[in-house]
Amino acid sequence: MLKELHSLTSDESMAFEDKVGALLRLGLAHFGLEHAIVSHIQNDAYTIEHVESPNAELRKGMVLALGDTYCLHTLKAGEAMAVSHTAQSDIAHHPCYLQFQLESYIGMKVVVNGALYGTLNFSSAIPREQPFSADDIDFIHLFAQWIGVEISRRQERQEMARRLELQGQMEQLADIGCWEVDLVNNRLYWSEQTKRIHDVPAGYVPELQSAIDFYHAGEDRDRITLLVERAITFGEPWSTEVRLKTYTGKIKWVATQGRAEFIDGQCTRIFGAFQDIDAQVNTRNALIEKKNEAQRLLKARSTMIGKISHELRTPINGITGMLQTLVGESNQDIIESRVAIALRSADLLVRLVNDVLDYSKVQNGELELETVRFAPKHIFDDLQALYAPQVKNKQVELDFRINLPPTQYCIGDPGRLTQIFSNLLNNALKFTEHGGIKLTAKLKQKNGITDLVVSIIDSGIGMPATVLDRLFVPFKQGSAAITAKYGGSGLGLAIVKELCDKLGGTVSVKSAEGVGTQVCVRLPLSLVDDSRTSAEIDYIGPENVSFKNIKILVVDDNEINRLVMESLLSQVQVTADYVVNGEEAVNAVKKAKAAPYNLIFMDCEMPVMGGVEATLAIRQNFKNTGKIFIVAMTADTSDANRKACLKAGMDTFLTKPIKLEDITTVLGKIAFPAMASF
């Protein structure tokens, strides 16, 4: 596809109209659609400028109301818009659908010289069997960019032709934009336009000996020298594009043409014309760069898919393999060992999926930060409890030195901080087979600013300088041998760098091959003055708290998910009622008015009525029932979904797969309302 596009756009022999027609047909073939349109939009007028369609009613010059086209939504979105089946979308009542019955559509705005020009769109009366892919979005971006650049170039050519027509009437008198070398008398002539191109001051007199020095030193000067010599010797005319270094030092592109005149076999003069094409060349180069950027994007996507597909197989194999071997096994030790392996594999799988989702959010500019109250020391206490068991079977000593006040609270995003240091500890554990890993954390204050300074030092395999140079580049890892031995997606450190930047901090790495690695993270903190006692904020765990008096409703349409929740709740001696959709949840809350629920675990995507809709109904209809905490349970980690849940009235958000720690944290906040920071 890209080869065809490159061949098409680089064909200078094709007229603009022919190129656009060929591009539209190429897009129709790629997307498998029927109609292709390039529109020009002025106010509410939608004018069809180019069209490829079996429908004779759609013709060039046809004017429609912008509001009667899907392109209105494309312009409102400000980016590419794609609909695979209009009848099942939120624009099923759009005038365009009612009039033309267009079921599938993909469109993108066209920008010319920084201003909106119109749209490029492809559509069909037949729904697509598969939704439009990310590659399709990339292609419509690339197509629209090329159309915009070509329209800009056409406008420039049209404007230039108009000017040349005026100048042509003057050329007989003034030789505007011309030059001439009299070889008989060794004289050089520049017209006023030629002088303007060279940025020379008024009254400047060009000299034959120095004129060649205006050409950019190197390839450009060498080329024009050779062309002049061949014109004088063999009479060969030339037409080329070269760079000039003007009198003021500006580098600009010019188109120059020249030919020789002979008398009695002797070259007596050479003459030609100059044209400033700097804007056109820069536009052309910008288009080339856009093409290269699109190709790099497609290559990066392919690399990510290949990497992630490979990495996912390891934990999936660990989960399925261990679970299969449990069938018929009666030895309790073997069962516990294999379940532990399956759980570790599941954790690895979750980390991989989270890395991919976070990387996607970073790339799309969707990564948002929470603003909640938390104690930094608790983050490292939890990390120490989490990672200490992981080194028991390794010849590695884990040393945490946390110099943080337990009652010092901050405002920020504890989840992202945990993610940063988990990724760094995972790397340290992965590449350290013996020796030690030391984590130190402390607060540093300077000029009224408090920074959290964390250092992680390991005695692992270390890295050479060549690896350090690309350490934070996505998908880039060490040597092939290291990658083969230790695996990994190549996203962990890239995400760490992005998160540190997003939080206004820094991350630096020192390493020596065969010696070990030191990672230092410095993050600014916003401290809060909190007078609560440390007893109020001690960890609440299932071993020292009873949650039996909390009345719980679990809402999930998936039977396996309900069984998982039942098993998790049973571990803290808690029972719950279970329903399978939002409508049943609303009815259950209504029936329980006398003894209302304290807590609802609400799935988001369900048939009949979803979790967001159910939450809205509960909040609106049962305001006097007492406070019911509603916790979202979803696999959709997007910020848009999170915002929708909170806007509907949910109190917090749990991402599947849900762990026991997630459950006990929520129950603890219900049991001790003074601690809740939903």
The enclosing domain of 616 has a CATH number of 3.40.50.2300
Give whole-number Cα distances, 283 to 93, 158, 277, 567, in Å: 41, 16, 10, 63
The reply to whether 169 falls in a domain is no
Whether 402 and 523 map to the same domain: the answer is yes
Q: Is residue 640 classed exposed, middle or buried when 0-12, 13-18 and 19+ CB atoms within 10 A define those classes?
A: exposed
Whether 413 and 532 map to the same domain: the answer is yes
pLDDT in tens, 236-290: 999 999 999 999 999 999 988 999 999 989 999 999 988 888 888 999 999 998 8
Q: Distance (Å, rounded) from C-alpha 24 to C-alpha 144?
A: 11
| 105, 86 contact by CB (below 8 A) | yes
Q: Strand 599-603 to strand 552-555: parallel, antiparallel, or no bridges (unpaired)?
A: parallel
The pair phi, psi for residue 539, each rounded to 5°, is -60, 135
Whether 405 and 515 map to the same domain: the answer is yes
The reply to whether 72 falls in a domain is yes
Give whole-number Cα distances, 285 to 5, 280, 289, in Å: 16, 9, 6
Q: Is residue 622 classed exposed, middle or buried when 0-12, 13-18 and 19+ CB atoms within 10 A define those classes?
A: middle
Q: Inform me whether the pLDDT recorded for 542 exceeds 50.
A: no
The reply to whether 653 falls in a domain is yes
Give the pLDDT band (50/70/90) at residue 533. Answer: very low
pLDDT at 537: 41
Question: What is the three-state SS of 551-620?
Answer: CEEEECCCHHHHHHHHHHHHCCCCCCEEECCHHHHHHHHHHCCCCCCCEEEEECCCCCCCHHHHHHHHHH
Q: Which residue has the tokens 């469109």?
A: 107
Whether 18 and 138 map to the same domain: the answer is yes
Q: Which residues of 329-339 are buried (b: 16+ CB within 10 A; e: fewer)?
A: eeeeeeeeebe
The rounded mean pLDDT for the chain is 84
CA angle 552–555–556, rounded 5-degree value: 140
Whether 331 and 186 map to the same domain: the answer is no
pLDDT at 482: 54
Tell me the range of 47-56, 167-176, 299-308 where mean pLDDT is highest: 47-56
Q: Inform me whether the pLDDT recorded for 171 exceeds 60.
A: no
The reply to whether 170 falls in a domain is no
The enclosing domain of 246 has a CATH number of 3.30.450.20
Helix ranges, 370-479 (H) = 376-387, 414-431, 465-468
- Tally the domains of the chain: 5
**Structural domain boundaries, residue 461:** 372-536
The enclosing domain of 422 has a CATH number of 3.30.565.10
| 41, 117 contact by CB (below 8 A) | yes
pLDDT at 170: 58
Return all residues near 200 (Cβ < 8 A) that are at least 6 apart. Answer: 206, 246, 247
Q: Which residues pair with 440 in a beta bridge?
A: 401, 455
Q: Inform me whether the pLDDT recorded for 676 exceeds 70.
A: no
* DSSP H or E stretch at residue 238: strand 238-245
Nearest CA-CA partner of 554 in 531, 575, 533, 527 = 575
Q: Distance (Å, rounded) from C-alpha 128 to C-alpha 133?
A: 11
| 326, 319 contact by CB (below 8 A) | no
The reply to whether 164 falls in a domain is no
Nearest CA-CA partner of 275 in 170, 150, 191 = 191
List the end-to-end C-alpha distance of the chain, in Å, as a whole number. 50
Task: Write out the two tokens for 12.
Answer: 């200078």
pLDDT in tens, 70-125: 999 999 988 999 999 999 998 888 888 988 889 999 999 999 999 999 999 999 99
Portion of the chain with pLDDT greater than 90, in percent: 38
The enclosing domain of 352 has a CATH number of 1.10.287.130
Whether 18 and 151 map to the same domain: the answer is yes
Q: Distance (Å, rounded) from C-alpha 254 to C-alpha 246?
A: 11
Whether 240 and 301 map to the same domain: the answer is no
Give the pLDDT band (50/70/90) at residue 530. Answer: low
Q: Distance (Å, rounded) from C-alpha 290 to C-alpha 350?
A: 35
Mean pLDDT throughout 136-161? 88
Domain limit, last residue, from 474, 504, 536: 536
Whether 228 and 265 map to the same domain: the answer is yes
Whether 297 and 400 map to the same domain: the answer is no
Domain limit, last residue, from 515, 536, 557: 536
The reply to whether 313 falls in a domain is yes
Q: Inform me whether the pLDDT recorded for 33 exceeds 50.
A: yes
The reply to whether 167 falls in a domain is no
Q: Distance (Å, rounded) from C-alpha 510 to C-alpha 215?
A: 47
Nearest CA-CA partner of 612 in 582, 653, 636, 652 = 582
Task: Write out the two tokens for 112.
Answer: 């010319």
Whether 388 and 523 map to the same domain: the answer is yes
The reply to whether 168 falls in a domain is no
Mean pLDDT throughout 25-34? 92
Whether 188 and 154 map to the same domain: the answer is no
Whether 529 and 391 map to the same domain: the answer is yes
Task: Write out the two tokens for 490.
Answer: 């190549």
Domain limit, last residue, from 536, 567, 582: 536
